[in-house]
Structure 1
Amino acid sequence: MHGTVDGFSYGLVTPLVAYVMACLGGALGLRCTTRARLVAHSWRPGWLALGSAAIGSGIWTMHFIAMMGFTVAGAPIHYDKPTTYASLGVAVIMVGVGIFIVGYRGATGTALFTGGTVTGLGIASMHYLGMAGMRFSGKLEYNTFTVSVSVAIAMAAATAALWAAGQVRGFAWSVGASLVMGLAVTGMHYTGMAALSVHLHATGTPTEGDSPAALLAPMLIGPLAFLLLAGVVVVFDPLMGVGRPDRTRAEHMPGVPAHPPVRHSAGRPAPRARRRLPHRESRTPQNR
């Protein structure tokens, strides 16, 4: 028989908090990717890895905060921990592939298509693998068309986010991009949930169990702590507030490449701007 599904047991609280977490992970990841493009190659993998983990953790946390509001009437839900944490690993690894492609090749057409496709499939895989970790007295069925729409949304969101990360602009640009990314990722989640239908096994009397919030809260502690630490690293990094490094400070910072002087097309150094002296009244021989 069909189960009665409620995806908003706590009203708008879980969707809003889930959206905030998706934006937070996206903002941290985009700033780390931008930072990676401003440093020497030896430092770049570390920043790209931090950005991948931030985006993956943010998306995973968003998913399971949203799932706190998901209930099935008469069928208590449990979560298989190995499968649940495996979905986190899939998110981080596949997002990392896209981040590293753009981080090293730039926001070119081929890199964006490849990285966006891999990252979008990673987001979708995380979602459906996380759903596969649910345990209850029934089974899940999905509408194929709606699932395809959710995957397309994930791929479009990932491509847009990687493009934004490759622009190397200021902090406000990354904030705006992360808000759009959070909206797209959250929209992908609820589109995927709209494709879901639940069929319960005939077990007789409905049973009660722990709430999804009580089951998921302990699992979220680790990713939330990681996002907090990543936020501290990003906030206190001296180059995070700008879209490009300040030349005078960057020369004394580890991991920031030296910037050669700007050259004309003929290969000669650009001339220095003449210092303009204050205007004085010209003195002619007649005025002496």
Structure 2
Amino acid sequence: MIEHFDHGYITLAVAFAVSMSGSALGLLLSRQARLHTGTRRRVQWLLPAAFAIGGTGIWVMHFVAMLGFDVDGAILRYDPLMTAASALIAIAVVACGLLVIGLGRITVGRFALAGLFTGGGVAAMHYTGMAAIDSTIELHHDPAYVASAIAIAIGASTTALWLALRLQKTAAMWLAAAVMAIAVNAMHYTAMLGVRAGEATGDEVHGAHSIELIFPMAVLTAVVLLFLIYTVITAPSASELHNEARLEALQESFETRLR
């Protein structure tokens, strides 16, 4: 029997909270990127946003939710390198999506392509994480659930990119982050409902138990979150950037007159 909440529904609550926090930070960082016109400055804000949304909002949510995954009578172990690779995939595809819509002229085709690519990448992250599992039984994925999970991932990613591009008010961003967290969780658990337990393999399993990965994952997540929170708190406001630009313009004008 497959169990998705082996430790109770606490994993669902924690996964949602982590996903919402990461999504909110990503939206706040994306808003900061829109305050700048230069490509370099925008990239400097969009990349941390990708870490917030892709790393924390999506991948850490996936990892926390997987802590509740178990199969009666089976041993499950995780390949650390492939698990890390799934995290890099999540961050990379979100970064690509944000850079596509955050730099240059926005068109419907470009926006749709970014959502499609990012959503497909999020689904790839999930199934890469699943492929990292080494078990004493075979695990299969129902194609109908796979297709549904991919569709949800594309819809969630497109929504996230649109929100990152449009929202301005902080209160609205937290509400949007909750919507994004619901979508990400829906994608994950839709995919997990499609997991089917097969025959015993009889092979020896290799890798780490999910519990053994909690400490390094928690430390890394805490460090990244603290850095992102510090970045958001210390980010200059629109009025501060405007005043800074005026001051630079006056200084440049003054230096020109002295020449």
Shorter-chain TM-score bucket reads: 0.7 to 0.9
Higher helix share: 2
Q: Per-residue deviation at 1:107?
A: 5.5
Q: Distance in 1 between matches of 2:167 and 2:29?
A: 11
Q: CA deviation at 1:106?
A: 5.8
> 1:104/1:227 Cα in 2 relative to 1: closer, same or farther (>3 Å)?
same
Deviation at 1:40, TM superposition (A): 3.4
CA distance in 2, matches of 1:80, 1:250: 46
SS of alignment partner, residue 140 of structure 1: strand
Residue 212 of structure 1 aligns with an amino acid whose one-letter code is S
> How far apart are 1:194 and its partner, in Å?
0.5
One-letter amino acid of the counterpart of residue 29, structure 2: C
Shift of 1:219: 3.3
Moved more, 122-131 or 228-237: 228-237
Partner residue in 2 for 1:219:
217
2:139–2:195 Cα contact (<8 Å) kept: yes
1:51 to 44, 49, 66: 49
C-alpha distance in 2, partners of 1:141/1:231?
39
- Partner residue of 2:16? 19
The Cα of 1:211 is off from its aligned counterpart by: 5.9
Match of 2:241 among 250, 258, 269: 250
State whether residues 107 and 167 of structure 1, in contact with CA within 8 Å, keep that contact through their aligned partners in structure 2: no
Moved segments of 4+, more than 6 Å: none
1:81 to 1:202, Cα distance in 2 relative to 1, 3 A: closer
Structure possessing the higher radius of gyration over alpha carbons:
1
Tell me the equivalent position of 2:34.
37
TM-score scaled by length of structure 2: 0.87
Match of 1:267 in 2: none
User: Within 1, Cα distance between the matches of 2:248 and 2:125?
Assistant: 36
Which stretch has the larger CA shift, 39-48 or 13-22? 39-48
Residue 214 of structure 1, CA deviation: 3.6
> What is the rounded CA distance, in whole Å, between the counterparts of 1:257 and 1:175 in structure 2?
34
- Contact preservation (8 Å) 2:138, 2:199: yes
Partner of 2:166, secondary structure, is coil
- Structure 1 Cα separation of the partners of residues 105 and 151 of structure 2: 23
The answer to whether the 8 A contact 1:77-1:134 is kept is: yes
Structure 1 residue 148 displacement after superposition: 0.4
* Equivalent in the alignment of 2:234: 236
TM-fit CA distance, 1:168: 4.1
Residues 1:128 and 2:115 are matched in the alignment = no
Contact (CA 8 Å) 2:82, 2:132: kept in 1 or not?
yes
CA–CA distance in structure 2, aligned partners of residues 141 and 178 of structure 1: 32
Tell me the C-alpha RMSD between the 2 structures: 2.4
Q: Which residue of 2 is the match for residue 70 of structure 1?
A: 69
Which residue of structure 2 aligns with residue 88 of structure 1? 87
Instruction: Read off the aligned partner of 1:7 and give its amino acid letter.
Output: H
* 1:187 alignment partner, SS class: helix
The change in CA–CA distance for 1:84 and 1:252 in structure 2 (over 3 A counts) is: same
Find the aligned partners of 1:66 and 1:139 in 2 and give their Cα distance: 20
Q: CA deviation at 1:215?
A: 3.9
1:9 corresponding residue in structure 2:
6
Segments of structure 2 that go 5 or more residues without pairing to the other structure are 250-259
Distance in 2, Cα, partners of 1:81 & 1:186: 23
TM-score, structure 1 as length reference? 0.78
What amino acid sits opposite 2:68 in the alignment? G
Matched residues in 1 for 2:248 and 2:121: separation? 32
Amino acid at match of 1:195: G
38-47 or 187-196, which deviates more: 38-47
Tell me the matched-pair count: 244
- Residues 164-196 of structure 1: CA deviation (Å, up to 9, x unaligned): 111141111211111100100011000000010
Give the secondary-structure state (helix, strand or coil) at the position aligned to 1:135: strand
**Shift in Å at residue 76 of structure 1?**
2.2
The alpha carbon displacement at 1:80 in A equals 0.4
